[in-house]
Structure 1
Amino acid sequence: MKYLSASGLSFVPGRFFLFAAMSSSIASASPSGSASFPAAADTTFTAWVGTYTKGTSRGIYRVAFDAAAGRFGAPELAAELPSPSFLALRPAPGVGSRLAPALYVVSESTATVTALALSSSGAATGSAASLALLNSAPTRGAGPCDVAVDATGRTLAVANYSGGSLIAWRLADDGSIERETAFFQHTHASHGHPRRQDKPHVHGVTFSPDNRLLLVPDLGADRVYVFRHDAASSSLVPHETAPWIDFPPGSGPRHAVFSPDARHVCVINEMGNTVSVFACDAAAGTFAPVADVPTLPAGFAGESTTAELAFSPDGLRLYASNRGHDSIAIFARDPATGRLTPAGHVSAGGRGPRHFTLAPDGRWLIAANQGTGNLSALRITPDGGLAPAATDAGATLPLDAAVCVKFR
């Protein structure tokens, strides 16, 4: 059954284009432990930026980023729709694949997920490709806040924050949302915080590198739920022996990320201002705790909550954002044990870094600062550290309520 076309989504002639990003394969770590970068044939990449639309922003914006100069182009409205707060791209199809490129967007205010087609024409040459509405589906829960596509490009998963639920669909060849395959309503709340944890708040969806598991952090439950994922049917079932991982009361697990070597998983705890590290056996679906490390510097006494985390391409560094301290925390990772060693903090280049991502060449960290309404570019140094964001014109990009940035 096909879902109806999205409501509240405008397609303005002349505005719906995509400049394809020429991404390169990621090189492995150098023997010295310094970051090693891929050679990029093209240093201009295109980012999609999600925003909240209560102010001047109107939807999803397309932004060109010149990685050679560390400069942003002017933002262009790509899709006008209400509060597209998180985005996910279908993995790039291989040669001969029947799967069409697509972008998926959750809108918190309408509790919908929308599928947008990216035409493949021009994708190999960097010329403009068209964007077209496919369809949308209700998420069956209020406040959808995260969306992910599995490695096969066939399963779509969404976390409903206010509704406290998880939902998944099967995707068609053309990228449209085909049919619902799973829905789970969470009921447990930890009550570690009297206001923020009085009910479940599902906050993230992360597929494992082998595509067998889906991790679902629930901020209100102080748990990360573990689901078995069947890529052939896009079905999800709770793990039979370890259906969840418990966290200390008041932690507020928000997002999870696997290390590039798939040996460890890190969970960022929004309220606890920590990163929890686990050694993982994805085949067995087991997670052994390694350590919890603070994201804030010693002595900081202000209000702050965490938001996003990501590994460097070589897996030797982990980055995490702090909202309040308004910084990116840097950690060195021991690949053998997974232990994280604090390696400093760098200003996020704005207030409230809700999300960040690494540019396709691995040389830049791009932060979406919700509080100040801007994108900032932090250069990744050869040792995996971060150089402070420049503040001159072009090095930072004003964009009201920018909350998510994704590169193709």
Structure 2
Amino acid sequence: MTENALLAVAGYSTSGTGRGRGIELLALRSDGQDLAVERRAAVDLPDPSFVLWSEDGALLHAVLETEPTRVVTLRVDEDGARAEVVADLALDGAGGCHLAHGSDGRSLVIAQYGSGSVATVGLDEEGLPTAQIDLDDHHELIDGIAETAPHPHQVVALPGTEALAVPDLGLDRVMLYRQGAGGMIDIAGEISLSRGNGPRHLVADHESEQIHIACELSGMVATAVRAHETSPRSVPAVMPQAPRRWAVRSMMPASGSESAAALSHIELVADESALLVANRGPDTLSLLSLDAMRPQRVAEVEVGAHPRHFTQWGRPGAGRRAGGRPDRRAAPSRGGARAGRGADPRPVGRVPRGAPRGLRTASREQSPGAPVSGPAPDLLPPVATRRIDSPAPNRSAGGLRRALAPSRKDPSR
């Protein structure tokens, strides 16, 4: 089965602080065995650190990690041969590193690592950013803790809820927002972690019963479980429900390496039976089973230098990494793991059925902890050094849109 993708590759650029081309579109084709990549359009922008497809896939939004932060939108042809800037908006704040669609469907929410704030941008009927409509300053949440600087790192819409989750690496908290009329966001709760964990990215299951948090500074995966609260019988049914609450139930090291691990990105596999976590330092991708009461590391594979992001690509359950699901567009990410052939999986236990096939094969053929020689069959060769992507919606049948972003070497970002 042939699968096609259009990748939007974003990264620190020659017009900014890096060596990349800004945003570049790449056409990708895979028949399950071979992978072909063809360059399409490129747009020179300073330091686009994260990109996001619109719901219909016609527009590509990018956040520029500049001062001030800028949100730039491109209109992209079906085949990626042409891309033009159709909107460019400066925000209050600096160092924007991530953006996501608002829960209202008419806005973008941007995490600004540099200025420690979260900005909301309104979209017009065409889906183009028009104006900043809200700004939430995390400096107001420090609560008198000395030598604390807020660093919002990601924005995630929690499935099955109206909440937007923003992990703040500096505050050791995940702030939970609710978006109201006009796109304004208000704090509705938080998930607290002990000092020094540094929550960077998170992923929730399809009902947000569990939220798994990659802690960059401690190298741990924190799992927060939702508390089921029932309203008193005396409260009328028309009264608004109390905000959902989550509490951390377990902490698990993501890597078994002796090297200190600075975690970056985290995702669930398609059937939600396991987690994938990228570890900078050891430069590995870990597989954590969710069969037990808390995550258990069952495999770890080397993926190349400084893995800052990854995503999944291919048929659900087929175990392909570094891409998105079929008939979906992939939204970009900031930095990334390089998934290359020849990596050596290091299985440490039973690997779940939904795991990437390269990891599953290694686990079957080797005893726990034994070294594995030869290629990991379903890990794609690197498209570009330290690049990876994340999923987004589809526009055309049989097509896939995706975006990548190379990383800086600064482990704190």
Normalised by the length of structure 1, the TM-score is 0.73
1:5 maps to none
1:91 maps to 55
Q: CA deviation at 1:157?
A: 0.6
Quick check: 1:56 aligned with 2:19? yes
CA distance in 2, matches of 1:338, 1:89: 36
Which residue identity does 2:206 align to in structure 1? P
Matching residue within 107, 110, 113 for 1:158? 110
1:236 maps to 185
Alignment of 1:368-383 (within 5 A): 376=340, 383=354
Q: Deviations over 1:94-114 (max 9, x none)?
A: xxxxxx732111111342111
Matching residue within 227, 230, 236 for 2:177? 227
The DSSP-based 3-state class of the residue aligned with 2:297 is strand
Question: Does structure 2 conserve the Cα–Cα contact (< 8 Å) formed by 1:366 and 1:376?
Answer: no
Question: Does structure 1 conserve the Cα–Cα contact (< 8 Å) formed by 2:54 and 2:60?
Answer: yes
CA distance in 1, matches of 2:161, 2:88: 24
Q: Which runs of 5+ in 1 are unaligned?
A: 1-39, 93-99
Question: Does structure 1 conserve the Cα–Cα contact (< 8 Å) formed by 2:71 and 2:88?
Answer: yes
Matching residue within 142, 147, 151 for 2:94? 142
The DSSP-based 3-state class of the residue aligned with 1:387 is helix
Which residue identity does 1:352 align to in structure 2? H
Which residue identity does 1:91 align to in structure 2? E
Q: Deviations over 1:174-211 (max 9, x none)?
A: 1211232321111145999x9xx631111111111235
The DSSP-based 3-state class of the residue aligned with 1:356 is coil
Q: CA deviation at 1:384?
A: 1.1
Task: Point out 4+ residue stretches in structure 1 off by more than 6 angstroms.
Answer: 377-381
Alignment of 1:336-375 (within 5 A): 339-348=294-303, 350-362=304-316, 363=318, 364-366=320-322
Question: Does structure 1 conserve the Cα–Cα contact (< 8 Å) formed by 2:104 and 2:183?
Answer: no
1:288 maps to 247
Which residue identity does 1:278 align to in structure 2? A
Which residue identity does 1:106 align to in structure 2? V
Question: Does structure 1 conserve the Cα–Cα contact (< 8 Å) formed by 2:217 and 2:262?
Answer: yes
Q: Which runs of 5+ in 2 are unaligned?
A: 229-240, 324-332, 346-350, 360-373, 393-400, 402-413
Alignment of 1:174-193 (within 5 A): 174-187=126-139, 188-189=141-142
CA distance in 2, matches of 1:356, 1:248: 27
CA distance in 2, matches of 1:79, 1:405: 20
Question: Does structure 2 conserve the Cα–Cα contact (< 8 Å) formed by 1:268 and 1:309?
Answer: yes
CA distance in 2, matches of 1:135, 1:145: 18
Which residue identity does 2:186 align to in structure 1? V
Equivalences, count = 341
1:116 maps to 74
2:274 maps to 317
> Which structure has the highest strand share of the two?
1
Question: Does structure 2 conserve the Cα–Cα contact (< 8 Å) formed by 1:59 and 1:77?
Answer: no
Change (3 A) 1:370 1:151: closer
Question: Does structure 2 conserve the Cα–Cα contact (< 8 Å) formed by 1:61 and 1:77?
Answer: yes
Q: CA deviation at 1:153?
A: 3.6
Q: CA deviation at 1:173?
A: 2.2
Question: Does structure 2 conserve the Cα–Cα contact (< 8 Å) formed by 1:47 and 1:405?
Answer: no
Change (3 A) 1:191 1:318: farther
Q: Deviations over 1:222-269 (max 9, x none)?
A: 111111123x63221111xxx322111110001121113432111110
1:101 maps to 58
Which residue identity does 1:286 align to in structure 2? R
CA distance in 1, matches of 2:300, 2:204: 22
CA distance in 2, matches of 1:210, 1:155: 19
Which residue identity does 1:271 align to in structure 2? L
CA distance in 1, matches of 2:334, 2:33: 21
Q: Percent of counterpart pairs with the same letter? A: 23
Matching residue within 375, 383, 387 for 1:402? 387
Q: Deviations over 1:8-63 (max 9, x none)?
A: xxxxxxxxxxxxxxxxxxxxxxxxxxxxxxxx7x5122222221224431112223
Q: CA deviation at 1:355?
A: 0.5
Normalised by the length of structure 2, the TM-score is 0.73
- Cα RMSD over matched residues? 3.4
Change (3 A) 1:395 1:310: closer
Q: CA deviation at 1:74?
A: 4.2
Question: Does structure 2 conserve the Cα–Cα contact (< 8 Å) formed by 1:370 and 1:400?
Answer: no
CA distance in 1, matches of 2:45, 2:225: 40
Q: Larger deviation: 357-366 or 61-70?
A: 61-70
Which residue identity does 2:294 align to in structure 1? R
